[in-house]
Amino acid sequence: MQMHKPKDVAEYLAALPEPARATLLKMQSVIRSIVPAETTEKISYGMPTFHYNGALVGFAAFAKHCSFFPYSAALIKEFAADLQNYSTAKGTIRFPVDSPLPAALVKKIVKARIAQNTKKALAKA
């Protein structure tokens, strides 16, 4: 959906048409509410991505849907029952541009990703 490479997350979101912009702003707000303070946001792979001990989660808007990227095929399988009403692929959860994923579901997935990344970082240390 983006025509040029945005310099930051704010520029990415500002360039989106409604209702995708409002949908992803809500998702961003939910994610920000639960990630550790040292989490950063930046553009990775052309989309907004939260980083905490590596890439944590990302999201993006497309012509006919939005996507949430938990960067973990295992989590998509783990939360399959919660995701049964959404189109999923190995690393993607797709949802309508005018309907964000439920905040409680996003929080569960993000918390699980924080745990995965923390475990991976401790193993490296």
- CA-based nearest residue to 108, from 124, 90, 93, 123: 93
Burial status of residue 115 (CB atoms within 10 A of its CB: 0-12, 13-18, 19 or more): exposed
Asked whether 55 and 49 are in contact (CB, 8 A), the reply is: yes
Taking the model in full, what pTM does it have?
Answer: 0.93
Res 125: pLDDT: 77
What structural domains and CATH numbers belong to the chain?
9-124 (3.90.1150.200)
Residues 88/91/96/99 CA torsion (nearest 10 deg): 110
pLDDT tens sequence for the chain (125 residues): 545 689 999 999 999 999 999 999 999 999 999 999 999 999 998 999 999 999 999 999 999 999 999 999 999 999 999 999 999 998 899 999 999 999 999 999 999 999 999 999 999 87
Res 3: pLDDT: 53
Res 45: pLDDT: 87
Res 93: pLDDT: 97
